[in-house]
Amino acid sequence: MFTYYFGTKDRFVLTALNQIYDTFIEELSQSTSKGNDLERVLFQLAKFSRDNREIITSLVSDVILSEVVVSRFLRKNFSKHFKLLALALKTFLKSRNLRVKDQNHAIRFLIGAVGVPNILLEVYNRGATKKVLPESDSELYMRTEAAIHGLKSKFCKE
């Protein structure tokens, strides 16, 4: 049955990755279309990294191991969510009459603040005897607000 539906393992991996990522991009696009609210976009990024932390850490491992299918998929798709975040950041800055010296640096800071802790939690849990639970939505919102506060206080100028 597997061969009938997917043909190869690589085709299965691509189908699964595309389905997960396309759903994420659709949700993120809806967040940006509702006024480009930076907080909403960051929350979606945080939520995705929390809910898919096992897959994300596996993808990182596959890239390190030079898995061609995964590497090709990431090269093709990875910039989509960064572009949506950049749009939300630009709108946020303009609406508050703020500027950043380096928008790419600000984007890396925001992604690091909201997404990376979830991935690090998964790395920790893979080796831990006592697992740590992922953050709740309210804790993700709190981290999102902290990221925006950090952005405004350290990266922005009027």
Count Cβ neighbours within 10 Å for each residue of 26-51 and write b for 16 or more, e otherwise: eebbebbeeebebebbbbbbbbbbbe
List pLDDT tens digits, range 35-93: 558 999 999 999 999 999 999 999 999 999 999 999 999 999 989 999 999 999 999 99
φ, ψ of residue 99 to 5 degrees: the values are -135, 155
Host H or E run for residue 156: strand 156-157
Name the 3-class secondary structure at 42: helix
pTM value surpassing 0.95:
no
What distances in angstroms separate CA 153 from CA 65, 74, 91, 142, 146, one per listed residue?
A: 39, 32, 18, 16, 10
If you ran DSSP here, which 8-state letter would residue 100 be given?
Answer: E
What average pLDDT score do residues 139-151 get? Answer: 96
What distances in angstroms separate CA 31 from CA 27, 64, 80, 99, 128, one per listed residue?
A: 6, 32, 14, 22, 35
How many Å apart are CA 67 and CA 51, to the nearest integer? 23
List pLDDT tens digits, range 107-131: 999 999 999 999 999 999 999 999 9
| pLDDT (0 to 100) of residue 29 | 85
| pLDDT (0 to 100) of residue 2 | 63
How many Å apart are CA 39 and CA 35, to the nearest integer? 11
